[in-house]
Amino acid sequence: MTAENDFLEEYSAESFPRPSLAVDVALVTIINKQLHVLMIRRVEHPDQDHWQLPGTFVHLAETLEAAAARALAEKTVAGPVFTEQLYTFGRLDRDPRTRVVSVAYYALVDPARIRDPIEGQLLGAIAVPWQGETGGPVQILDQSGPLEVAFDHAEIVGTVVKRLRGKLNYAPVGYELLPRRFTLLELQTVHETIMGEPINKDSFRRRMLASGELVPTGEKQRGVGHRPASLYRMAPSRP
Amino acid sequence: MTAENDFLEEYSAESFPRPSLAVDVALVTIINKQLHVLMIRRVEHPDQDHWQLPGTFVHLAETLEAAAARALAEKTVAGPVFTEQLYTFGRLDRDPRTRVVSVAYYALVDPARIRDPIEGQLLGAIAVPWQGETGGPVQILDQSGPLEVAFDHAEIVGTVVKRLRGKLNYAPVGYELLPRRFTLLELQTVHETIMGEPINKDSFRRRMLASGELVPTGEKQRGVGHRPASLYRMAPSRP
DNA sequence: GAAATAGTGTCTTTAAGACAGTATGTG
DNA sequence: CACATACTGTCTTAAAGACACTATTTC
């Protein structure tokens, strides 16, 4: 393509047929040491009664982040949520009706802040059929077994798991899934849940305390039936 | 937003005003132990005579990857290029003419495969004004100093550097910037150039050889004025 | 043989894993 | 006092860094 073509295309872009742009958001939390994700039942064709991630089209005067927040709004969470862009999915046939390119986001939240899902929503357990950071689609289960997942959303959730596992190796991701104050064992459990494998406790404690990311609050657990653990919070100013 | 609203919006989406969707591609290589990126001079307003990344609008029946390949086609490289999605940029005012959301890609290529840039193109040196994986925009320099960079493209290139530095910690990224067969020292130089700091040679050799990613070809350098180093290539089947 | 980088062997330092032993809550 | 988990200290193991020394090519 020459600069001339670029020029022509740029100025007439408004009139060319072009892809629609959407956002989909995977709201992830941990329940019973298992990753869960918020799914919504589709009431219309295609994929009627299958389950999808909350999503919406991006409006003309709206940032991607604002669209993602709007997709989550009124859904299930109270208050602000850690949200980060994941990946943009653009397969030609990912939506059979029309060409839709979707910018996927993931959001992490303490399960205590999630309201009970209403009719047509549920928190499905994420079953990861691969090890490490291999990647690929995942299964999403409710009490009765695997859900039928609409569009490419099982692949999107798989990409979330892959991303979370990658980030844990160099960034303190897990605390967004915990209350503001937490114990080292709670944080370790979050890491183990994301990684899908046990972690050496001694080494984990040393690494976390040496990282400088954790600030002791001076408080301790109460009423736990054993020696209470110290409560920590994340260091506020991280680059 | 309720499911009902989703439904209405979905089916009438074609008629609502919505963002344009583009791709921009940062073609990165290494020249004289410095990261370089292909830039193109804008011939039109806005930002006339500033420099931008090659980019194009996404056509209706075209994947994002195909659009990225099209943006690079006929530009400067011979043959296929390693290309990967980077991030999607959606600031409202990133293009002053109209709302354009851009899916950015980066491409890595051996400098020997780049033809000399024609008029209106150049390979600018990337000057990174931050350490480690801090992130942020970078400067792009030609012989006479910093270029004026159009739109948010300095931020896009900064994101490429940040991504490359992150990937080096767990993936063998650098070999795409080298010929098919290369020495350990050449690979180390690539890593040092990306990270922006020197690497311990002994440890680097041990890590690379222990990783199992490198396959000795049995060949050696020739005519180098010193003891010739063994040539390696990357292991073919990596997950 | 001089120059230059490749490659080997070994010692030191640091982080991870293993594990014993002590500490401090609840019941 | 029994139990359960928190925490501390020390030993072992593995990886990274430092460095001395030998190897192989061109000129």
Q: What is the distance in angstroms measured between the alpha-carbon CA of A154 and the sugar C1' of C27? A: 47
Residue A7 is predicted with a pLDDT of 46
User: What's the rounded Cα separation, in Å, for the pair A229 and A183?
Assistant: 6
Q: Whole-angstrom Cα distance, residue B158 to residue B139?
A: 9
Between CA B24 and CA B87 the distance in angstroms is 10
- State, as a whole number of angstroms, the distance between the CA of B186 and the C1' of C2: 25
Residue B72 in this model has a pLDDT that exceeds 60: yes
Class of residue B161 by CB neighbours under 10 A (exposed 0-12, middle 13-18, buried 19+): buried
Select from A1, A84, A152 the residue whose CB has the most chain B CBs within 10 Å, as the one to mutate to test that interface: A1
Model confidence at A237, pLDDT cuts 50, 70, 90, reads low
Alpha helices by DSSP H, listed for A47-183, are 64-72, 153-168
How far, in Å, are A188, A194, B10, B67 from residue A197 at the CA level? 11, 8, 40, 39
Please identify residues in chain B, positions 191-210, with a C-beta within 7 angstroms of any atom of strand C. 202, 205
For A206, residues 6+ apart whose C-beta sits below 8 A from its C-beta are none
Sign, CA torsion B210/B215/B217/B221: negative
Q: What is the pLDDT of residue B17?
A: 84
**Interface with chain A: mutation pick from B14, B60, B121, B159, highest number of A CBs within 10 Å:** B60
* Whole-number pLDDT of residue A224: 87
Distances (CA, A) of A119 to A18, A40, A47, A187, B117: 35, 9, 18, 32, 60
Which residues of chain A does B84 touch, with a Cβ-Cβ cutoff of 8 Å? none
Q: Is the pLDDT of residue B132 over 70?
A: yes
Q: In this complex, how many residue pairs, one in chain A and one in chain B, have their CB atoms less than 8 Å apart?
A: 119
Within 7 A of a protein CB, which nucleotides of strand C?
3-10, 15-19, 23-27
pLDDT at A13 over 70: no
Q: What are the residues with a C-beta under 7 Å from any atom of nucleic chain D?
A: A 183-185, 202, 205, 220, 225-230; B 199-200, 202-204, 206-207, 210, 220, 222-228
Please tell me what DSSP assigns to residue B37: E
Residues 6+ positions from B126 with CB-CB distance below 8 Å? B28, B34, B35, B36, B37, B138, B139, B140, B141, B157, B161
Strand C proximal residues, A:184-203, Cβ < 7 Å = 200, 202-203
pTM of the full structure:
0.92
Q: How many helices (H) and strands (E) does chain B have?
A: 5, 11
Rounded Cα distance, B198 and B200, in Å: 7
Beta strands in B99-153 (DSSP E): 100-108, 121-127, 139-142, 145-146
Cβ atoms within 10 Å of B179's Cβ, excluding its own:
13
* Dihedral-angle region of residue B49 (phi above 0 means left; psi in -120 to 50 means alpha; beta otherwise): left
CB B202 within 8 A of CB B191: no
Find all residues with CB under 8 Å of B113, minimum gap 6, and list them. B77, B78, B79
Backbone angles phi, psi at B24, to 5 degrees: -125, 145
The spacing between the Cα labelled CA in A163 and the C1' in D21, in angstroms, equals: 46
| Mean of the per-residue pLDDT values of chain A | 90
Report the DSSP pairing between strands A100-108 and A20-31: parallel
Contact predicate A75/B1, CB 8 Å: no
Classify residue B68 by its DSSP letter: H
Is B19 close to A134, i.e. CB distance below 8 A?
Answer: no
Residue nearest to nucleotide C3 (CA to C1'): B226
Partners of B125 in the β-ladder = B36, B141
pLDDT in tens, A87-114: 999 999 999 999 999 999 999 999 999 9
Strand C lies under 7 A from the Cβ of residue B185: yes
Task: Please list every residue in chain A whose beta carbon sits closer than 8 Å to the beta carbon of residue B101.
Answer: 21, 58, 64, 103
Average pLDDT on B152-160 reads: 98
The confidence score (pLDDT) of residue B122 equals 95
**Which chain A residue has the Cα nearest residue B130?**
A239
Beta-carbon contacts of A137 under 8 Å, excluding residues fewer than 6 positions away, are A154, A155, A157, A158
Asked if B56 and A17 come within 8 Å (Cβ–Cβ), the reply is no
Q: Give yes or no for residue A239 having a pLDDT over 50.
A: no
The phi and psi torsions of B99 (rounded to 5 degrees) equal: -75, 115
pLDDT at B15: 60
Tell me the percentage of chain A whose pLDDT exceeds 90: 79
Residue B17 and residue A41: Cα distance in Å, rounded?
Answer: 27
- The dihedral built from the CA positions of residue B25, B30, B31 and B35, taken in this order, carries a sign that is positive
Separation CA A71–CA A25 (nearest Å): 7
